[in-house]
A and B are shown apart, each in its own frame.
Chain A
Amino acid sequence: MYKILKREKIVPNIHLLVIESDAIHRNAQAGEFVVVRADEYGERIPLNLVDWNDTSISIIFLEIGTSTRKLAALNAGDELATLVGPLGKPTELTKDKNVLCIGGCYGIGAILPVIRAFKKNGNRVITAIEARSEFMLYWQDRLKEHSDEFFEITRDGTRGIKGHANDFLNDYLKRERIDLVYVQGCTYLTYLCSETTRPFGIRTLVGLNPIMVDATGMCGVCRVIVNGETKFGCVDGPEFDGHQVDWQNLLSRRKIYLKEEVYSLSFYECEKYG
Chain B
Amino acid sequence: MANKIVPKKTPMRERPAKERRKGYDEVPYGYNDQEAIAEAKRCLQCKKPTCIPGCPVEIDIPGFIKFIAEGDFEGAIKRLKERNVLPAVCGRVCPQEDQCEKLCVLAKKYEPVAIGRLERFAADREASAGEASIPQIPPPTGKKVAVIGAGPGGLTVAGDLVMLGHGIKIFEALHKPGGVLVYGIPEFRLPKAIIEREVDYLLKCGVKLYLDFVVGKTATIDQLLQEFDAVYIGTGAGLPWFMNIPGENLNGVYSANEYLTRANLMKAYLFPQYDTPIVRGKRVAVIGGGNVAMDCARTALRLGADEVRIVYRRSLKEMPARAEEIHHAEEEGIVFEYLTLPLQYVGDEYSWVKEMECIRMKLGEPDASGRRRPVPIEGSNFITAVDTVVCAIGQSPNPLIPQTTPDLKIGKWGNIEIDAKTNKTSKKGCWAGGDVVRGGATVILAMGDARIAARSMHEYLKTGVW
| Interface residue ranges, A against B (CB under 8 Å) | 23-24, 26-27, 37, 41-44, 66-67, 70, 81-87, 213-214, 216-221, 223, 225, 230, 235, 248-249, 252-253, 255-257, 260-261, 263-264, 267-268
Q: A37-B175, A84-B214 are in contact. Are A261 and B277 (CB under 8 A)?
A: yes
Quick check: which of B65-73, B150-158, B237-245, B423-431 contacts chain A, the rest being far away? B237-245
Q: A83 near B212 (CB under 8 angstroms)?
A: yes
How many inter-chain residue pairs (CB < 8 Å) link A and B? 118
Distance between Cα atoms of A230 and B246 in the complex (Å):
11
A263 touches B272 (CB 8 A): yes
Q: Contact: B251 with A81, CB < 8 Å?
A: no
- Cβ-defined contact, B273 with A216, below 8 A: no
Between A and B, 5 residue pairs with Cβ closer than 8 Å are A84-B218, A214-B174, A216-B238, A218-B261, A260-B272
The reply to whether B218 and A86 contact each other, CB–CB distance below 8 Å, is: yes
CB-based contact B219/A27 at 8 Å: yes
CB neighbours of B175 from chain A (8 A): 37, 44, 81-82, 84
The residue on B at minimum CB distance from A263 is B272
Whether B84 sits at the interface, judged by CB under 8 Å, is no
Question: Contact between A219 and B277 (Cβ–Cβ < 8 Å)?
Answer: no
Complex: how many Å from CA A267 to CA B267?
Answer: 16
B398 to chain A, nearest CB (A): 5
| Chain B interface mostly | loop
Decide: B279 and A256 in contact? CB cutoff 8 A.
Answer: yes
* B220 neighbours in A (Cβ, 8 Å): 27
Contact call B277/A86, Cβ cutoff below 8 A: no
User: What CA separation (Å) do A191 and B279 show in the bound complex?
Assistant: 27
The interface residues of chain A lying within 8 Å CB-to-CB of B279 are 256-257
Contacts of B252 in A (CB 8 A): 256
Interface centre among B173, B274, B398, B400 (most CB of A within 10 A): B173
Residues B217 and A230 in contact, CB atoms below 8 Å apart: no
Residue B351 CB within 8 A of the other chain: yes
Whether A214 lies near B261 (C-beta < 8 A) is: yes
Inter-subunit contact A23/B219 (CB<8 Å): yes
Distance A260 CA – B266 CA, assembled complex (angstroms)? 15
In the docked arrangement, what's the CA distance between A267 and B173, Å?
30
B278-310 interface with A by 8 A CB criterion: 279
Q: Verify A217–B399 contact, CB threshold 8 A.
A: yes
> Contact: A253 with B398, CB < 8 Å?
no
Do the beta carbons of B400 and A225 come within 8 Å of each other?
Answer: no
Question: Which of chain B's residues have a CB closer than 8 A to the CB of A24?
Answer: 218
The answer, yes or no, to whether B258 is at the interface (CB within 8 Å) is yes
A24-B218, A218-B398, A235-B400 in contact; A213/B266 too (CB < 8 A)?
Answer: yes
A264→B218 contact, CB < 8 A: no
Whether B262 lies near A213 (C-beta < 8 A) is yes
Cβ of A41 and Cβ of B275 under 8 Å apart? yes
CB atoms of B212 and A84 under 8 A apart: yes
Q: Which of B220, B240, B399 has the most CB of A within 10 A?
A: B240
Residues A264 and B212 in contact in the complex (CB < 8 Å), given A81-B175, A256-B279: no
Question: Any chain A CB within 8 A of the CB of B257?
Answer: yes
Q: Please list the 5 inter-chain residue pairs (A to B) with the smallest Cβ-Cβ separation, ordered nearest first.
A: A260-B277, A252-B351, A84-B212, A219-B258, A218-B238
B240 contacts which chain A residues (CB < 8 A)? 218-220
**Complex Cα gap A216–B265 (Å):** 15
Q: Tell me, yes or no, whether B213 is within 8 Å of chain A by CB.
A: yes
A-B contacts besides A260-B271, A268-B275, 13 pairs, CB < 8 Å: A27-B223, A43-B266, A43-B275, A44-B276, A66-B275, A214-B174, A216-B238, A216-B400, A217-B399, A218-B238, A219-B257, A223-B249, A230-B244
**Interchain CB contact under 8 A, B217 and A217:** no
Q: Which residues of A contact B212 (CB under 8 A)?
A: 82-84
Q: Does B119 contact A (CB under 8 A)?
A: no
User: Complex: how many Å from CA A267 to CA B273?
Assistant: 8
Known: A67-B275, A264-B277. A256 touches B238 (CB 8 A): no
Q: What is the CB-to-nearest-CB distance from B172 to chain A, in angstroms, rounded to a whole number?
A: 10
- Which residues of the partner chain B approach A213 to less than 8 Å between Cβ atoms? 258, 261-262, 266, 276
Alpha-carbon separation in the docked complex, A249 to B253 (Å): 13
Q: Which residues on the A side are within 8 Å of B274 (C-beta)?
A: 41
- B340 contacts across to A, CB distance below 8 A: none
- B422 to chain A minimum Cβ distance, whole angstroms, is 28
Docked-complex contact A43 and B276, CB < 8 angstroms:
yes
B248 beta carbon closer than 8 Å to chain A: yes
Q: How far is the CA of A218 from the CA of B396 in the complex (A)?
A: 10
Residues of A within 8 A of B273 (CB): 41
- For B218, list chain A residues within 8 Å (CB): 23-24, 26-27, 84-86
Please name the residue on chain A nearest to B262 by beta carbon.
A213
Q: Are B271 and A218 in contact (CB under 8 A)?
A: no
- Nearest CB on B from A42, distance (A): 5
* Cβ–Cβ < 8 Å partners of B213 in chain A: 23, 84
Q: Mark B207-219, 1 if CB is under 8 A from A, else 0.
A: 0000111100111
Q: Mark B254-265, 1 if CB is under 8 A from A, else 0.
A: 110110011000
**Distance A37 CA – B400 CA, assembled complex (angstroms):** 22
Question: In the assembled complex, how far is the CB of residue B75 from the closest CB belonging to chain A, in whole angstroms?
Answer: 39
CB distance from A209 to the nearest CB of B (A): 16
Q: How far is the CB of B443 from chain A (nearest CB, A)?
A: 18
Q: Are A217 and B350 in contact (CB under 8 A)?
A: no
Nearest residue in B to A24 (C-beta to C-beta)?
A: B218
| A253 surroundings in chain B (CB, below 8 A) | 249, 251, 351
Name the residue among B213, B218, B398, B400 with the largest chain A CB count within 10 angstroms: B218
